[in-house]
Amino acid sequence: MAGPTVPKVSRGNPMYILAQQLVNGLILGSIYGLIAIGYTMVYGIIGMINFAHGEIYMISAYLFTIFLALVAVFGLTSLPVALLITLVATIILTGVYGFSVERIAYRPLRGSTRLAPLISAIGMSLVLQNYVQLAQGARDQALPPLYQGVLRFGSAAEFVQITHIQLIIIVVTVVSMAALTYLINYTELGRACRATQQDRTMANLLGINTDRTISLVFVIGASMAAVAGVLITFNFGSFNYFIGFVAGIKAFTAAVLGGIGSLPGAMLGGIILGLSESLFAGLVNTDYKDVFAFALLVAVLIFRPTGLLGKPEVEKI
């Protein structure tokens, strides 16, 4: 599987089809939103796009599977405990990758032109992609189904279903967004992030370590991508070294659609993108769902160039 896909539904009662596609779109949009947070946080702080972010998401899928295998080797049989340990370990190590991207691809070029870090990030994306390909192979990797519980609403012949894993995705997404919102709005790190975003020079004069703040933003963004990687791997069960490119483009689209630089906008853009893909695939044609999603982005940017929740950039003089 090259990335998150929209499940097909059989033709039947249009209301059930619509409801099922809304559920599928909400799940897909939650994943896009979690990945888009990394793009929007980095852009909000340093005004640049981290094009290696999709590969960070891809690496988290591999790390999740590796840690899950290690936990099984040590004989831990409780699935909830194993998943919790694996999730924490994956977030920590993926955060290290995010930190490394900032130190290698961005910090040395911070005083250069805006084009240089962009090229460096694209180069880092290719390095990470080929690094995983060489280390793990180019073939699709598979994770056996770990849990198959499902809830069904409707009759025996026509119904809307949502798996327990999909419910977990929604709950984890909501909790992650709530925790991140609290972190940014009510903690010392959040105040440092907002100060660095508004005026990095003044923040330095006030005693804020802006280098450390920017590094932590990369770590936080990578952690959100790790959560998405774990959830999508747990749900779909297959991945390869190329999933970061597809998911990264979609998440970047979601960030721009919602208003890049806005955390609520990233999640809103992800939900809208996921719903538009799912509805178009289920009700019109699966082959052109991406065309419709990107056409929606173009339409929004024509009438609102800053995105749905974005704010016009104010020139400092």
Instruction: Give pLDDT tens digits for 231-288.
Output: 888 888 888 998 998 888 889 889 988 888 888 889 999 999 999 988 888 878 888 8
Residue 147 exposure: Cα atoms within 13 Å on the Cβ side: 19
Side-chain-side CA neighbours of residue 281 (13 Å) = 22
pLDDT above 80 (res 13): no
Other beta carbons less than 10 A from residue 238's beta carbon: 14
When mean pLDDT is compared across 210-224, 280-294, 301-315, the lowest value belongs to 301-315
Nearest to 3 by CA among 86, 61, 53, 52: 61
pLDDT of residue 308: 85
> What pLDDT, on a 0 to 100 scale, did the predictor assign at position 32?
92
* Full set of structural domains in the chain with CATH: 15-138+162-303 (1.10.3470)
Query: Helix, strand, or coil here: 85?
Result: helix
Residue percentage of the chain with pLDDT more than 70:
94
**CB contact set of 201 (below 8 Å; sequence gap of 6+):** none
User: What span, in angstroms and rounded, lies between the C-alpha atoms of 262 and 308?
Assistant: 10
Task: Report residue 239: phi and psi, to 5°.
Answer: -165, 165
Mean pLDDT of the chain: 86
Sorting pLDDT into bands at 50, 70 and 90, what band is 218?
very high
- Cα distance between residue 117 and residue 111, in whole Å: 10
317, pLDDT greater than 60: no
Q: What is the pTM of this model?
A: 0.87
Query: Roughly how many angstroms between the first and final C-alpha of the chain, as a whole number?
Result: 49
Confidence class for position 1, pLDDT limits 50, 70, 90: very low
Residue 21's nearest CA partner among 276, 309, 315, 300 is 276
Q: What is the pLDDT of residues 69-85, one digit of tens each?
A: 898 888 887 888 888 89
